[in-house]
Chains A and B, each alone.
Chain A
Amino acid sequence: MKEFLHDIGSIVTKQHVFNFVSATIILIVGVYLSRLTERPINRLSQLDSNQRMLFSKIARYGVITLAAAAALSQLGFDLKVVLGAAGVLTVAIGFAAQTSGSNLISGIFLMVERPFVTGDTVQVGDVTGVVMTIDLLSTKLRTPNNLMVRIPNETMVKSNIVNFTYFPIRRIEITVGVGYGSDLAQVESILREAANAHPLCLDEPEPEFLFQGFGDSSINVQLNVWTLINNVLIVKNEVYTDIKARFGTAGIEIPFPTRTILLPEATPAAEQIQA
């Protein structure tokens, strides 16, 4: 045992111990400083929560990386060799984790470009939901039926995103079919009255009446009304209900599809019906 300790003592010099202690202190100070860097970034009100998270992580791991490099240097490692090995390792990891890397870069793009923020209602492909979180690898949505959908950030960047809450007001299109015998001027007047009577329908931009065309069994018209994005559902429900009531009072028919079949008198089918 004594010999072993003697051998160790001859290998580990005071300089080695000093270097080891110095490297440890550098690492501890580096970790402490990395935490300090997060505070000013988290106080930046110009950034949203996702951007603050991204920049604070970049700053924190950057400081830790520098501290680790300084500690290794203090221990006597040649940084060129270490960096070379790290480069080879990075290439290997890069090949192995292409998808994750792509999602990571896409996540950074999303946080910088900000096509949506947490709390927005978006449609990505055929998924619609409220943005819960925008992480580095994926974005999580909560659908109207309370399902969590995780969408990789690469998909988010490649897809067309519809943001329903980007602007504070939104247009609602209310389509109605009325009978061919209806007076269109009266229909327009009733639709405008329904829009004007609802206090949540914006007075400006004004409601619009549009003639949409002659349908198979109805004349199709459209009423466009504007409202705050938070009021879209309530306005849609209540204006439709009000229109139905007003049409009922005015005797305006909302026809269901009908088909008239004319049979020539000479056909066997016509004879059968007549009989």
Chain B
Amino acid sequence: MDSKTWWGRHSTQLERVDYWQIGPLRLWVHPLPYRMCLTWIQQGDWLNPHVRTGPGEKTEPPPLASKTVTCAYGHGTKDDIVFSPALPDRASIVRLNSQLNVLPGEEVTLFILTPLFLRIEQADPSKLLHEIPIYRSSDTWFGPMDSTGSLGYASPSRAYLELKDVPLRPHSAITSITIRNLGGTPLHLDRINVPSTRLSLFYSQTSGFWTDRLALERRDDDEMAHLRLDKQPPPEAGPTQFISGPRSAEDDGIPAIRAFSRIFNHAKETVG
């Protein structure tokens, strides 16, 4: 198997512990009669490119801090499991290193990496056993601190202005976001909400995973921008293979961009 293609169908053997490493995720798969034990831990740098797949060398036991889930089978033992990549189950909030100003009438394209989730499925019949984030990003809050805000993942990625600077990883997907400022004043950006649950996932042999292209247009001089999904990866991805559709087709009502961080600054003044 190519070191990048960790996903796909894998054979397991009863009572044998198989070990995988996909970037920061270490996973032990232990099939037992009528059940499957999955043990994992996410450690280290999220950009860790190392991929080690399947059975082979003897491996050390999982550390104490690992998490374990046992999936019960109703009927006997299943031999094969299927690993598949998935986009996160919540939006990812990317904080820009420094405020980005998009001047009136201008546009900019940003590339953002999103750590993927690993879906572990029983092969025949196909049933989801468990879903594990390959890198556990911190939680973050996007929006005002009342019920109108929403919980997301704080993306460990930064926003790249050029594709050549993006560190390609076999466990992350690239999202291309084009921001157009059609307003009359500069658009100031300090964080971007990538609505991962509404994006499809694609795979390119040359550059790995990609999501739908996003376009953000600021039409008036308001602080919010309007989000548009292109339903396909950008041309930079080259020929791609469709992997999975969006988790949720619904518009979750999250504004795509919040300019400045006024809301939280205000909140700090009132509760601090």
User: Would B145 and A205 count as touching, CB distance under 8 A?
Assistant: yes
Given the known inter-chain contacts A204-B154, A205-B267, please indicate yes or no for A199 contacting B147, CB distance below 8 A: no
- Whether A219 is near chain B, meaning CB under 8 Å from some CB there, is no
A38-46, A71-79, A163-171 - the one binding chain B = A163-171
User: Would A171 and B271 count as touching, CB distance under 8 A?
Assistant: yes
Given the known inter-chain contacts A171-B271, A208-B272, please indicate yes or no for A202 contacting B138, CB distance below 8 A: yes
B113 to chain A, nearest CB (A): 16
- Whether A254 is near chain B, meaning CB under 8 Å from some CB there, is no
- Whether B223 is near chain A, meaning CB under 8 Å from some CB there, is no
User: Would A204 and B145 count as touching, CB distance under 8 A?
Assistant: no
One digit per residue, 1 when the CB lies within 8 angstroms of any chain B CB and 0 when it does not, for chain A 181-212 equals 00000000000000010111111111010000
A158 to B205, CA, bound (A): 68
Q: How many A-B residue pairs have CB under 8 A?
A: 55
What residues of chain A lie closer than 8 Å to B73, measured between beta carbons? none
User: Would B141 and A200 count as touching, CB distance under 8 A?
Assistant: no
User: Would B271 and A169 count as touching, CB distance under 8 A?
Assistant: no
What residues of chain B lie closer than 8 Å to A169, measured between beta carbons? 141, 145, 149
How many of B's residues come within 8 Å of A, CB to CB?
A: 22
Select one of B138, B151, B191 contacting A196, CB under 8 A. Answer: B138
What residues of chain A lie closer than 8 Å to B149, measured between beta carbons? 168-169
Could you tell me which residues of chain B, from 226 to 266, have a CB within 8 Å of some CB in chain A?
261, 264
A168 to B140, CA, bound (A): 12
What residues of chain B lie closer than 8 Å to A201, measured between beta carbons? 138-139
A98 to B183, CA, bound (A): 64
A200 to B138, CA, bound (A): 6
- Whether B180 is near chain A, meaning CB under 8 Å from some CB there, is no
DSSP majority for the B interface?
A: mixed
- Whether A106 is near chain B, meaning CB under 8 Å from some CB there, is no
- Whether B95 is near chain A, meaning CB under 8 Å from some CB there, is yes
Select one of A196, A224, A226 contacting B141, CB under 8 A. Answer: A226
A167 to B146, CA, bound (A): 5
User: Would A200 and B139 count as touching, CB distance under 8 A?
Assistant: yes
B151 to chain A, nearest CB (A): 7
B78 to chain A, nearest CB (A): 31
What residues of chain B lie closer than 8 Å to A204, measured between beta carbons? 93, 95, 140-142, 154, 191, 261, 264
A203 to B157, CA, bound (A): 13
One digit per residue, 1 when the CB lies within 8 angstroms of any chain A CB and 0 when it does not, for chain B 124-146 equals 00000000000011111110011
User: Would B139 and A202 count as touching, CB distance under 8 A?
Assistant: yes
- Whether A34 is near chain B, meaning CB under 8 Å from some CB there, is no
B261, closest chain A residue (CB)? A204
User: Would B271 and A228 count as touching, CB distance under 8 A?
Assistant: no
A103 to B93, CA, bound (A): 48
Select one of A203, A208, A224 contacting B139, CB under 8 A. Answer: A203
User: Would B264 and A205 count as touching, CB distance under 8 A?
Assistant: yes
A171 to B145, CA, bound (A): 11
- Whether B268 is near chain A, meaning CB under 8 Å from some CB there, is yes
Select one of A203, A224, A227 contacting B154, CB under 8 A. Answer: A203
B42, closest chain A residue (CB)? A199
User: Would A167 and B138 count as touching, CB distance under 8 A?
Assistant: no
A205 to B272, CA, bound (A): 12
B263, closest chain A residue (CB)? A205
Select one of B138, B191, B261, B272 contacting A199, CB under 8 A. Answer: B138
A242 to B136, CA, bound (A): 18
Of the listed residues A198, A201, A202, the one surrounded by the most CB atoms of chain B closer than 10 A to its CB is A202
Q: Offer 15 A-B interface pairs, CB within 8 angstroms, sorted by A.
A: A167-B146, A167-B147, A168-B147, A168-B151, A169-B145, A199-B137, A199-B138, A200-B139, A201-B138, A203-B93, A203-B95, A203-B138, A203-B154, A204-B142, A227-B139
Q: Identify the A interface with B (CB < 8 A).
A: 167-169, 171, 196, 198-206, 208, 224, 226-228
Known pairs A167-B145, A202-B140, A205-B264 / 9 extra A-B pairs, C-beta < 8 Å: A196-B138, A199-B137, A199-B138, A203-B140, A204-B141, A204-B261, A205-B141, A205-B267, A208-B268
